Amino acid sequence: MTDAVESGERIAKYLARAGVASRREIERMIEGGRVNVNGKVLDTPAFKVTGQETIIVDGVTVETPEATRLWLYHKPAGLVTTHSDPEGRETVFDQLPKELGRVISIGRLDLTSEGLLLLTNDGALARALELPSTGWTRRYRARAFGSIDNAAIAKLQAGITVEGLKYGPMEVEVERETGSNIWLTIGIKEGKNREVRRALDAVGLRVNRLIRIAYGPFQLGTIERGEVKSVASRVLKDQCGHLMEAGHVFEELAAASARPVKRAAKRTMGGAGQPGYAKPVQYLEDSQTRGPRSRPDSKRPDSKRPDSKRPASKRVDPNRPSPTRSAPRGANAGSAEPERADTRKPAGRKPDAGAHSGKPKTGFQMAGKNRDSAGKAGPNGRPSAGSRPSAGGKPGPGGRPGPDRKPRGRG
């Protein structure tokens, strides 16, 4: 043999990965002279191949193993789980879509049993999932005629021997009783031939309907009867990757590895729009509304900020003669200029609203007015009569209070 053949893999394993059959079945096919490699009929399974050879099984050329795939199939009752039935009954594989190619089943279901059946194109994976050492639980719903007591349930949970064949411990849960039938949920680890039916028959229950609802982590769920559902390659790798040997290729992962990986650009802190930093205020030149997107106040025509453009105030002409006030009469009447009416309003003085307002003045307002008018001179230089203080705080002329009267409200 050449070095290439020495470094290959055994033909039974290779054909199992190609989906021809299980390793054990392929060994029987080789012993029967049904396998041909490069024009020679094999008589021993101790032969290694590299995949470059031409292999023919039962007159059909075997193609290179494809990527490992797994399907969930809802098997209806009345189909046989085999590729060829000697009695000519309809098989599961006769009902499968042709685009699946050649697939093999993981375990089997009886003719009258229904429910979840796993299919794969990898014989090595099928063998690994069938082994009891895998520890996957096969869960069933069983409808049986009769009744069951706690002693019988404990017997099934501890493991039962039927006709010299020992069955492992079972998970048993009673769902409900409907007339003369009872619904049970059964969980087993080994999956021997007709295990559930024979174990329940040993405790007095005759199974008339059996549905597999789960096989390990895979559930029947809402899959319709006769429907096939593909398992995603990533799910298959997560659930079965530890059970498969190195070198197995998964369909989606192989396609993903062929594509260049796009790495996201590294984000740097700082700048507009980065976390922790406020976004810059955007100004709209045609906006007249105040807000975070309005233009600055300095560019607004109605702005009152110091930097805004405002019309200049009127300036006073320095050459314009300032108006002169008339001197008090009686002090220097001869040298005074003709009296001019002063129409300017004193700064800080409010106009007397007493004559125009209908509200009566308070004591504070009257007292303040008398004090202001006390120093004013009359036409002849003397204080006017209305401004003379009244003795004893009595009201003066006109009924107004004198300046020494205490304001109302103070003691």
One domain, residues 141 and 210: yes
List, for residues 149-163, the tens digit of each pLDDT value.
Answer: 999 999 999 999 998
How close are the terminal C-alpha atoms of the chain, in Å?
A: 133
One domain, residues 160 and 13: no
Residue 281 has pLDDT above 50, yes or no: no
The answer as to whether 381 is a domain residue is no
58 is catalytic: no
Residue 199 has pLDDT above 80, yes or no: yes
One domain, residues 206 and 141: yes
The answer as to whether 14 is a domain residue is yes
Q: Which of 3, 43, 58, 110 is catalytic?
A: 110
Q: Closest Cα partner for 13 from 49, 42, 59, 41? A: 49
One domain, residues 111 and 231: yes
Number of folded domains in the chain?
3
Residue 231 has pLDDT above 90, yes or no: yes
The answer as to whether 342 is a domain residue is no
Q: What is the pTM assigned to this prediction?
A: 0.55
The answer as to whether 128 is a domain residue is yes
Q: How remote is the C-alpha of 408 from its chain's centroid?
A: 76
**294 to each of 57, 284, 288, 303, 406, how far by Cα in Å?**
81, 6, 7, 13, 60
pLDDT value of position 229: 95
One domain, residues 201 and 241: no
Element (H, E) at 119: strand 114-120
Residues 6+ apart with CB under 8 A from 147: 177, 182, 204
The answer as to whether 311 is a domain residue is no
pLDDT value of position 243: 75
pLDDT value of position 367: 58
One domain, residues 30 and 16: yes
Q: Give the number of residues written for the chain.
A: 411
What tokens appear for 141 in the block? 């719903």
One domain, residues 124 and 164: no
Q: What is the CATH number of the domain that holds 84?
A: 3.30.70.580
Highest mean pLDDT among 166-170, 270-274, 358-362, 392-396: 166-170
Q: What is the CATH number of the domain that holds 31?
A: 3.10.290.10
Q: Domain limits at 15?
A: 1-64
Among residues 14, 43, 64, the one where a domain terminates is: 64
pLDDT value of position 172: 94
- Across 37-46, 81-90, 130-139, 263-272, least confident range: 263-272
Q: Looking at per-residue confidence, does 177 or 402 come out higher?
A: 177
Pairing verdict, β 70-75 and 160-162: unpaired
One domain, residues 57 and 75: no
Pairing verdict, β 40-41 and 60-61: unpaired
One domain, residues 56 and 82: no
One domain, residues 9 and 32: yes
Using the 8-state DSSP alphabet, how is residue 25 labeled?
A: H
**347 to each of 5, 42, 52, how far by Cα in Å?**
118, 126, 114
Q: How much is the average pLDDT of 16-24?
A: 79
**31 to each of 42, 375, 409, how far by Cα in Å?**
8, 144, 131
List, for residues 58-105, the tens digit of each pLDDT value.
Answer: 888 888 878 889 999 999 999 999 888 888 899 999 999 988 888 889
3-state secondary structure of 320: coil
Q: What is the CATH number of the domain that holds 211?
A: 3.30.2350.10
